[in-house]
Structure 1
């Protein structure tokens, strides 16, 4: 499912106009982004948790040349599914 399909589904389930559904989805994405950017987690009980993890620096290998390279440490966003979502997908 892509964003347009999601907007259509939200509009259908909530009886909102497509424009209102798009604004709601854009607001949600913006809030998640701002929350993670500020270093906080966002938890939706039963659905899951959005958080930022610190990935340590490590050595890697260039697949073309085989040369050893240094991969820098980085912050990465992750999503952990909640119990109810995991059960629903089984």
Structure 2
């Protein structure tokens, strides 16, 4: 599912909201999740999962084309841990 499909589904389930309102709501939710993660906080959506960041140390990588060593800086990367309810719904049967 892509963002526009999510907006369409939310708009369909909430006919009292305009498409512009739904787009604003979805954008606000994604912006707030992004802002929380960028400031080092964790975002938990009960029944769905939790978003957080993990630190990656600086390392020496390799250019796959030439094989030369390349310095890779330390960075933070997003991490998602699915919730129990989501895992159970995915593994029914």
TM-score, normalised via structure 1 length: 0.90
Please name the residue that 2:18 is paired with.
17
Please name the residue that 2:44 is paired with.
43
* CA distance in structure 2 between the partners assigned to 1:78 and 1:14 by the alignment: 31
Please name the residue that 2:4 is paired with.
4
Q: Secondary structure at the match of 1:46?
A: coil
TM-score, normalised via structure 2 length: 0.87
Q: Secondary structure at the match of 1:43?
A: strand
Two-structure CA RMSD over aligned residues (Å): 1.2
Give the drift of 1:60: 1.1
* CA distance in structure 2 between the partners assigned to 1:89 and 1:18 by the alignment: 30
**What are structure 2's unaligned runs of at least 5 residues?**
none
**What are structure 1's unaligned runs of at least 5 residues?**
none
Superposition misfits of 4+ residues, deviation over 3 angstroms? none
Please name the residue that 1:34 is paired with.
35
Mean CA deviation greater in 38-47 or 10-19? 10-19
Please name the residue that 1:77 is paired with.
78
Please name the residue that 2:59 is paired with.
58
